Chains A and B, each alone.
Chain A
């Protein structure tokens, strides 16, 4: 088999890689980029997954690709913090059988020139499956936060109920965020909602906090915490939720803002 298949290196011209760091792609091993972890959630089973991509290899990158098949009435719930760099990508491809559910909460948070992204593809392969995705991006410096979310609803997947929501706050000029929702719907009795917004931290709230004695860095942390908390609402275990919030906020500590 070796040598029989030549793997093409992805570039920014490929839709799923359009916002990826070009320098990283040029240097990456195409075989490594083509690898997926494969999981199965058995019918009726509930799987919860929490992933933290924390800062490590500042010069290189991290690409994690996870393909999950969720059986009838099964649930896959995933929450993730993407605080790594220089390039960090978590990609999920989730196929839902009848009545299955997928929820995803993701936060990208980082500065310098980091490129952090979530790429999801949710395939509603059978009727009555549901999916909920909430992604928040907090970027500063020249960092970029991306969410590419594709939802496929196949012809017979009636009563599909899918939603995705993306919001970004840019703490400084020079930071960026990209949202790319993509809905491919071939059934007719379907609910599919998506929304995206990009803005700055609320200055009025920051001054209100300062006027009560809260220093700017503490105010920023409180406001960012409140902002990203939406993404972790799916996490029912309070301890886990707090840990994820702390992991995300750790990236903000010591940020030169």
Chain B
């Protein structure tokens, strides 16, 4: 589903990813772990197409297509979802309006009919309930006045509504208390744990992996994947630290 080969990318001419390769197949959940400054967020932003993140080498094939040749909104329509570490506040635009525009823009790009207001609200209500987020909150401006945990749950509601093939979740566990962590973990499983979907979990800590069991765990250090293994690698990292394991 996602084949990253020798990806080199950076910000403002500064190289950050220095030849990263990764193969994610349908039905798989991959966790990418690593210390601060390893390039974890850069990987997410580069795959999402954030302006300012320049690719200097390598390739990324998503679902058979050249991901790097697509505009950010085209990547979303192709089935990519980027969960933000710091979701952005947009005053004056309600979540309902924002998500309906987003979903119908994606459907239009894919040649599908738009959802009516009623159909959309039904879908939104169902996904909000899954993440235990009050539907009233989705009538408020996007992320404005939301706590850190509410923003992350709202990210997962968005993922549920947009129903992507591949979710790249950048530190979705940061800022969550124990209960919210479980709700978000169960939400990821319910939405993305399917044979035709895949997840790339970018995380600092192993705690989210108690709820979302990864099939593969990778250690990212200084812009490269230096070690890969099964779920046991995450536990080993937690116990012994990045330096000991990645050395």
A interface vs B, CB < 8 Å? Answer: 202-205, 207-216, 218, 222-223, 225-227, 229-230
- Expressed in whole angstroms, the Cα–Cα distance for A204 and B72 within the complex equals 13
The residue of chain B having its C-beta at the shortest distance from the C-beta of A210 within the complex is B72
Binding site for A on B (CB under 8 A): 48-51, 71-73, 75-77, 81-82, 84, 87-93, 97-99, 101-103, 105-106, 109, 141-142, 158, 162
Q: Which one, A204, A214, A227, contacts B101 given CB within 8 A? A: A214
Q: In the bound complex, do residue B50 and residue A207 qualify as a contact, i.e. CB atoms below 8 Å apart?
A: yes
A203 to B102, CA, bound (A): 17
CB neighbours (8 Å) of A209 from chain B are 73, 90, 98, 102
Chain A residue with Cβ nearest B168:
A211
- Interchain CB contact under 8 A, B93 and A226: yes
Chain A, residue nearest B44 (CB): A211
Verify B92–A215 contact, CB threshold 8 A. Answer: no
Which one, B51, B87, B101, B103, contacts A222 given CB within 8 A?
A: B101
Q: Report A249 CB to chain B, min CB distance, Å.
A: 13
The one of B50, B73, B82, B141 that contacts A214, using a Cβ cutoff of 8 Å = B73
How far, in angstroms, from A204 to B75 measured CA to CA in the complex? 17
Contacts A208-B90, A226-B90 hold; do A215 and B73 have CB atoms under 8 A apart? yes
Known: A207-B51, A223-B93. A216 touches B87 (CB 8 A): no
Q: How far is the CA of A226 from the CA of B93 in the complex (A)?
A: 6
Instruction: Write the chain B residue with the least CB distance to A215.
Output: B73
Which residues of chain A have C-beta atoms less than 8 A from B93's C-beta? 222-223, 225-226
- Could you say which of A202, A205, A213 contacts B106, with CB atoms under 8 Å apart? A213
Q: Is B88's CB under 8 angstroms from A212's CB?
A: no
Instruction: Assess whether B105 is in contact with A215, with CB atoms less than 8 Å apart.
Output: yes
Asked if residues B105 and A205 are in contact (CB atoms below 8 Å), the reply is no
Cβ contact of A212, chosen from B71, B91, B162, cutoff 8 A: B162
Report the minimum CB–CB distance from A227 to chain B (whole Å).
7
Q: How far is the CA of A205 from the CA of B72 in the complex (A)?
A: 13
What is the CB-to-nearest-CB distance from A213 to chain B, in angstroms, rounded to a whole number? Answer: 4
In the complex, are the beta carbons of A212 and B98 less than 8 A apart? Answer: yes
| Given A203-B51, A207-B51, A222-B97, residue A212 in contact with residue B102 (CB < 8 A) | yes
Tell me the minimal C-beta distance from A10 to chain B in angstroms.
Answer: 37
Q: Decide yes or no: A205 and B71 within 8 Å by CB, A210-B49, A214-B105 being known contacts.
A: no
Structural contact, A218 and B105, CB atoms closer than 8 A: yes
Inside 8 A of B89's CB, which chain A residues have their CB? 205
Q: How far is the CB of B227 from chain A (nearest CB, A)?
A: 29
Q: Please give the distance in Å from A95's CB to the nearest CB on chain B.
A: 34
Say yes or no: A208-B87 contact (C-beta < 8 A), given A213-B73, A223-B93: yes
- Beyond A210-B71, A223-B90, A226-B93: 17 further Cβ-contacts under 8 Å? A204-B88, A205-B88, A205-B90, A209-B98, A210-B73, A211-B50, A211-B75, A211-B76, A211-B82, A212-B73, A212-B99, A212-B102, A213-B106, A213-B109, A222-B93, A222-B101, A226-B91
